[in-house]
Amino acid sequence: MEEVLPALSAGVISTVVCNPLDVIRVNYQLNKKFKMNFKFLYRGINYGIIAIPSFWVIYFPLYKKLKNELPSGVSAYVSCCSASAVSTPFWVLRQKAYTGIKHDWKNEKLSSYYKGLLPTFLINLSFVIQMPIYEYLKTKVENNTFNIFLITSISKTVATSILYPLDTIRVKIRNGDLIKNIKITEYYKGISIYLLRSIPYHATVFCTYEYVKKFIS
């Protein structure tokens, strides 16, 4: 419970806080027209409230165990990919809900629930960049909410700036789009929205995780 409860809390809170930004980002990446209202902004939260907490409940305990034996970047990557392999079907369902696509429960093949898993494994390389930076900066500051927010923002921004095009590819694959004749600028479409979402999201995750962990210990 030392890792599970903080991870679960982090997943639930970040889902509720950041769902609107996720909905906007995905629809923008796919050039979908949309009307901004409460119902639209909280599309797919039913799947998100399963996908995101389950991801972090797998990630944090596994990362803690592995980093005793492996470098933090490698530990983060293995933990991230393990969590992704388990939770991907819920992320796929969440994206469909985001874009208003009705899921065909009867005729959908099992493989369709794992669309975009390979790009996800590539995107997870961002944790190879993010976590060593995060762990290093964490040793340089006091463990409080503001500092955790700050070092999470810095580490996530650096990692995202390098690997964001892979996220665009994943979104298009899950949507069934062909990846060809895409201009380089298209690969970075929505990056500002992604950072506006991703920084609060990861900051919420890590701040909540560290706060709850500190509280229960």
Query: CA angle, corner 62, sides to 59 and 67, nearest 5?
Result: 115
**Which residue bears the tokens 């210990």?**
217
CA distance 160 to 201: 13
Asked if pLDDT for residue 65 goes beyond 90, the answer is: yes
CA distance 103 to 105: 6
The pLDDT tens digits of the residues spanning 72-89 come to 899 999 999 999 999 999
pLDDT (mean) for 151-160: 91
The pLDDT tens digits of the residues spanning 34-44 come to 888 999 999 99
pLDDT over 70, % of the chain: 100
CA distance 51 to 55: 6
Structural domains of the chain, with CATH:
4-216 (1.50.40.10)
What is the pLDDT of the chain when averaged over all its residues? 90
Asked if pLDDT for residue 9 goes beyond 70, the answer is: yes
CA atoms within 13 A on the CB side of 66: 18
How many residues are present in the chain?
217
CA distance 169 to 184: 12
pLDDT (mean) for 159-172: 84
Asked if pLDDT for residue 190 goes beyond 80, the answer is: no
Ramachandran quadrant class, 176 (left: phi over 0; alpha: psi -120 to 50; beta: rest): left
**Which residue bears the tokens 């919420």?**
204
**Which residue bears the tokens 């393990």?**
82
This prediction's pTM: 0.84
How many CB atoms lie under 10 A from the CB of residue 139? 8
The pLDDT tens digits of the residues spanning 128-138 come to 999 999 999 99
For the record, the structure tokens of 203 come out as 């900051």
Confidence of residue 1 (pLDDT cuts 50, 70, 90): low
Confidence of residue 175 (pLDDT cuts 50, 70, 90): confident
Least confident of 22-31, 47-56, 123-132, 188-197: 188-197
DSSP characters over 11-77: HHHHHHHHHHHHHHHHHHHTT------HHHHTTTHHHHHHHHHHHHHHHHHHHHHHTTTS-HHHHHH
pLDDT over 90, % of the chain: 58
Q: Shortest CA distance to 200 belongs to which of 154, 155, 163, 153? A: 153
Asked if pLDDT for residue 166 goes beyond 90, the answer is: no
